[in-house]
Chain A
């Protein structure tokens, strides 16, 4: 069983819709990361969270440490938001390597 579970696996939305992607994890973490990968592109870090909420433009990420759960929200979605969104956690040990979810493939239709 993977330490990080994401849902949904695939998501299709109409332009302008509010989107939520969920991430649950089963281990104690030092930080949770939301990453984005556009088709054919590299992986880009969107957020690094250890508590509370962060906002960047139309993207909002929240984390509930007690419930071991995080959400990534996209407001007023746009076709250029179409990408794979990946949740990853780091445990805070000396290595701090990431443990990844399987990703959520988002398609926003004009």
Chain B
């Protein structure tokens, strides 16, 4: 069984540009989570999808962040326009049910210059 995959692994962009991160969860996992770790801080929750619906987006920092999961398969997280403080590692995780453990992707390292 393939694990959670994320693309790209690294992204370096300039302030004001747009970046789209992609997450492919484990097949059959309805729950998909986005998390972020900024430098020196703990990993923090961004949002949670159940299938294609946003269950909880209380962790999204502001309206420059847009997450989608059309069709309930892969998800994208778009940052537009990117700011310096958006730099960090963005993790995606998936689980079959919300009571089971989550499987994490390798993360996307985003650097905004």
Interfacial residues, chain A to chain B (CB-CB below 8 A) = 2, 4, 30, 33, 35, 41-45, 48, 86, 88, 92, 94-103
What residues on B are CB-neighbors of A2 within 8 Å? 42
A-B contact count (CB 8 A): 57
User: Which of B3, B31, B43 has the most A CB atoms < 10 Å from its CB?
Assistant: B43
Q: Could you tell me if A100 and B43 are in contact, using CB atoms closer than 8 angstroms?
A: yes
Q: Could you tell me if B98 and A42 are in contact, using CB atoms closer than 8 angstroms?
A: no
Q: Could you tell me if B104 and A43 are in contact, using CB atoms closer than 8 angstroms?
A: yes
- Provide 28 A-B residue pairs closer than 8 Å at the C-beta atoms, listed in order of the A residue: A2-B42, A4-B42, A30-B99, A33-B101, A41-B106, A42-B104, A42-B106, A43-B91, A43-B93, A43-B104, A43-B107, A44-B104, A45-B102, A45-B103, A45-B104, A48-B101, A86-B43, A92-B99, A94-B55, A96-B99, A97-B33, A97-B45, A98-B35, A98-B45, A100-B35, A100-B42, A100-B43, A101-B42
B85 within 8 A of A: no
B28 within 8 A of A: no
B64 within 8 A of A: no
In Å, the complex CA distance between A94 and B48 comes to 10
What residues on B are CB-neighbors of A98 within 8 Å? 33, 35, 43, 45, 93, 102
Contact flags B85-113 to A (C-beta < 8 A → 1, else 0): 00000010101001101111111000000
What residues on B are CB-neighbors of A103 within 8 Å? 42
User: Would A42 and B105 be within 8 Å (CB), given that A100-B42, A102-B42 are in contact?
Assistant: yes
B16 within 8 A of A: no
Q: Could you tell me if B101 and A99 are in contact, using CB atoms closer than 8 angstroms?
A: no
10 tightest Cβ-Cβ pairs between the two chains A and B: A43-B104, A42-B106, A96-B98, A100-B43, A95-B56, A97-B45, A102-B42, A100-B42, A48-B101, A95-B48
